Chain A
Amino acid sequence: MSDNNLKKIIIEPVTRVEGHGKVSLLLDEQNNVKQARLHIVEFRGFERFIVGRPYWEVPVLVQRLCGICPVSHHLAAAKAMDIIAGVDELTPTAEKMRRLMHYGQMFQSHALHFFHLCSPDLLFGFDADPAIRNVIGVARKFPELAVQGVMMRKYGQEIIKATAGKKIHGTGAIPGGINKNLSIEERDFLLKDIDQMVEWSIGAVNIAKDYTLKNVDLAKSFGTFDSNHLGLVREDGAMDLYHGNLRAVDKDGNKIFDQVNYKNYLDYIAEEVKDWSYMKFPFIKSIGPENGWYRVGPLSRVNICDFIDTPLAEKERQEFMAITGGKPNHMTLAYHWTRMIETLHSIEKIKELLNDPDLQGTDLVKIGKRRGEAVGLIEAPRGTLFHHYKVDEHDQVTMANLIVSTTNNNTPMNTAVQKVAEEHLSGKPEITEGLLNHIEVAIRAYDPCLSCATHAMGKMPLIVSLFDHKGELVDKKVKE
């Protein structure tokens, strides 16, 4: 069987709106998994869509092209367009308003993922009856938890509304600054519930922590593999979700590079194209495509930082790092725990910001001398997000290159699927719902775009195809 045949079988056009995850598994003659691949249809076309548009429009435009984390795209593009507009440092009010928006987004996105998408698996088990293993099941059995999830998400959205003007697809960040400050009424409205949010966030960390510690043997093996980790850190090594320099560490925590100004990302990172996937595979140049791939997102960010600058989250980070003796943790399931540590960090940051009088400042925008090229990076909920633009003398974009978080995690997600398939499927040519869900759990840990784009009931639309050693389709399961 040639690779060409394989390619034809695997890459079927998938409707873009539905965003099914597609997994293809290839078996050898003993029915052992030889190869597992995850195909995600990515909206690469949007880069072309941006070309020609005036640069000041881009932060609002780009968020429409990905319905998943609009605020992250909004802010990454705005950071790039600050530089295009000739502004290297924002006013304190602008910088803090944007940070508030970003932490609000992080908080609501993480809360949604944890309570709605992943808690059914953790609370009921991966094999549990799908009829109860969903968000409705959680609401029945753990009603107060379901309420917390909804309220936390809503709180994050209120923050986005107060900073961007709307709960989704707002306009707050503009090149060189922000278009509004936080009124006293908005501030007081948000401060009202802040302590409750902190308390619930601590509770959520505990759920994820207890789960992981109780199932540590499973966590150690389930979709777990050594990898490099990449993300932004502040100049002093602290976690910084809004701005910083690039740091990458290897599986033992040794620094591959550190404090790299992200405008030079192309000197450090390249993307490999594979004929079976529309999505590219980024890797660290100095190591090469074979071993240079890396993970991003909550797990990586907690792994790479030296500390977290908010006390409650820092305490949790220390506890988390202790289980691997301070070395990077490679467990796929540990994404949940670290996601909740970040949730706690975000709400601590929000509290800090809400009490900062700079948010009521009136100096919102700066202007400078126009530049032709810029890079903007941000730590989106799912990981490092790269935006790179060129703008001509007519103020029109001539080039846009975006590396989204899910693309950064492409090889890791494929590796996780491969691991889970090898461990749970080898020798069993029939696909059960439980198996399907094991694969889904591994993918979902990374919170890829597709999982919440199409998620309503705690189910990820997924197609798994099983091919025998002759390349023939032996089984196919579609989960809507």
Chain B
Amino acid sequence: MSEKMITFKIDGVEIKAKVGQTIMQAADEAGVYIPRLCYLKDLTPHGSCRVCTVKVNGRCQTACTEPAVDGAEVENKTEEIEGIRRDIVDMLFVEGNHFCMFCEKSGNCELQAEAYRLSICAPKFPYLFPARDLDGTHPDIFIDRNRCILCGRCVNASRDVDGKTVFEFVGRGSEKKVAVNADANLGDTNMAITDKAADVCPVGAIIKKRVGFAVPVGKRIYDEKPIGSDIEAKS
């Protein structure tokens, strides 16, 4: 029995979707890239970063959480939407301490890659330079909260995939941060290097120790092709 299909449009192009799919899922399958930072295939969408903002029939929605509906008109790559995304990514940069020049995630970082894709050259908002702490207590995993963008991937992965709840969010607003459960250090938890949560951070906030700069410039994920190229290759 074949699944029931619906049809909607992204920037005027017809897209087919299965009933119940989000706009993001349908777009991915059709080879249309919608920029994103918190969404990761296989994890429960969190809808927190707003980078995937699209307009559905004229209203702003997050593509990673919004179900595709039959006949909808979705705006994705318009000047207005790209401008919104640029501002969001820009704010993520100034809200943390993102020093790409000596960050080992550089070249593999989704935040940096989205910024390049959106042609952000220099931040337009003032830097906040927050004081954030590091956690080196785990033998194999290092946390640098300076780079955390509060995407929630680690929280979800640990809870839903690893069944461990190693991470949680504490605080509100600009004080919000990703904490290790019960305010312990990572070294006091049962987190293991093989956990899904060790692999999902889009930035350099949760990193595997001693990997550092082992991959030379030129061989990193986004050195050759911009983020989203793999999805666009499907179209």
What is the CA–CA distance of A395 and B216 in the complex, to the nearest angstrom?
A: 22
- Distance of A365 Cα from B216 Cα, bound (Å): 13
Please tell me if A113 contacts chain B, counting CB pairs below 8 Å. no
Given contacts A54-B209, A395-B136, contact A165 B102 (CB under 8 A): no
Chain B CB within 8 A of A394 CB: yes
Main secondary structure on chain B at its contact with chain A? Answer: loop
Task: Provide the A28-71 mask, 1 if CB < 8 A to any CB of B, else 0.
Answer: 00000000000000000000000011101101110010000000
- Interface: A360 (CB within 8 A): no
Q: Which of A169-177, A237-245, A246-254, A283-291 contacts B (4 or more CB under 8 A)?
A: A169-177
Residues of A within 8 A of B144 (CB): 54
Q: 0/1 per residue, B111-136, Cβ < 8 Å to A? A: 00000000000000000000000101
Minimal Cβ-Cβ distance residue in B for A181: B216
Q: Is B233 an interface residue (CB 8 A)?
A: no
Interface size class of A (residues with CB under 8 A): 20 to 34
B137 part of interface (Cβ distance < 8 Å): yes
CB–CB A52/B104 < 8 A: no
| B136 to A: closest C-beta gap in Å | 3
Instruction: Choose one: B209, B214, B219; the contact of A174 (CB below 8 Å).
Output: B214
A57 touches B217 (CB 8 A): no
Give the distance to chain A from B12, nearest Cβ to Cβ, in Å.
Answer: 41
Residue A180 is within 8 A (CB to CB) of chain B in the complex: yes
- Give Cα A396–Cα B67 distance, bound, in whole angstroms: 45
Does A179 have its Cβ within 8 Å of any Cβ on chain B?
yes
Interchain CB contact under 8 A, B209 and A57 = no
Question: How far is it, in angstroms, between the C-alpha of A220 and the C-alpha of B83 when the chains are bound?
Answer: 66
CB < 8 Å: which of A57, A394, A396 contacts B212?
Answer: A57
* Structural contact, A179 and B134, CB atoms closer than 8 A: no
Q: With A61-B102, A395-B209 given, is the CB distance from A165 to B218 under 8 Å?
A: yes
Chain A contact residues, majority secondary structure: loop
How many angstroms from the CA of A378 to the CA of B87 in the assembled complex?
Answer: 44
Complex contact A169–B213 (CB within 8 A)? no
* Given A61-B102, A169-B101, A395-B142; A56-B213 close (CB under 8 Å): yes
> Do A57 and B104 touch (CB < 8 A)?
yes
Whether A166 sits at the interface, judged by CB under 8 Å, is yes
Interface membership of B43, Cβ < 8 A: no
Residues of B within 8 Å of A392, CB to CB, are 136
Shortest beta-carbon distance from B101 to chain A in Å: 5
The 8 Å CB contact of A396, one of B134, B216, B219, is B134
Q: How far is the CB of A158 from chain B (nearest CB, A)?
A: 14
Q: A52-B134, A395-B136, A396-B134 are known contacts. Are A165 and B104 too (CB-CB below 8 A)?
A: no
Most chain B CB inside 10 Å of its own CB: which residue of A52, A57, A61, A172: A57
User: Shortest beta-carbon distance, B188 to chain A, in Å?
Assistant: 12
Q: How far is A478 from B99 in the complex, measured between Cα atoms in Å? A: 35
Q: Does B88 contact A (CB under 8 A)?
A: no
| B210 interface residue per 8 A CB criterion | yes
* Cross-chain contact B213 with A60 (CB below 8 angstroms): yes
Contact with B along A214-236 (1 / 0, CB 8 A): 00000000000000000000000
Is the pair A54, B216 in contact by a Cβ cutoff of 8 Å? no
From known contacts A54-B142, A57-B104, infer whether A171 and B213 are also in contact, taking CB-CB under 8 Å: yes
Contacts of A85 in B (CB 8 A): 210
CA distance A180 to B213 in the complex (A): 11
Q: Considering the complex, which residues of chain A in the window 144-182 have a beta carbon less than 8 Å from any beta carbon of chain B?
A: 164-166, 169-172, 174-175, 179-180
- In the complex, the chain B residue whose C-beta lies closest to that of A395 is B136
The complex places the Cα of A172 from the Cα of B101 at a distance, in Å, of: 14
Contact with A along B182-222 (1 / 0, CB 8 A): 00000100000000000000000000011111111111000
**How many angstroms from the CA of A394 to the CA of B186 in the assembled complex?**
11
Q: Is the CB of B134 within 8 A of A171?
A: no
Q: From the candidates A56, A59, A60, name the one contacting B210 in the complex (CB within 8 A).
A: A56
* Chain A residue nearest in CB terms to B215: A179
When distances are taken between beta carbons in the complex, the residues of chain B under 8 Å from A59 are 213
B102 A179 Cβ-Cβ under 8 A = no
A interface residue numbers (CB < 8 A to B): 52-54, 56-57, 59-61, 64, 85, 164-166, 169-172, 174-175, 179-180, 365, 392, 394-396
Q: A52-B134, A54-B142, A64-B99 are in contact. List 10 more A-B contacts (CB 8 A).
A: A53-B134, A56-B104, A57-B213, A60-B212, A64-B102, A165-B216, A165-B218, A166-B217, A172-B216, A180-B219
| B interface residues with partner A (beta carbon < 8 Å) | 99, 101-102, 104, 134, 136-137, 142, 144, 187, 209-219
Return the 4 tightest CB-CB contacts between A and B, nearest first.
A165-B217, A394-B136, A56-B212, A171-B213
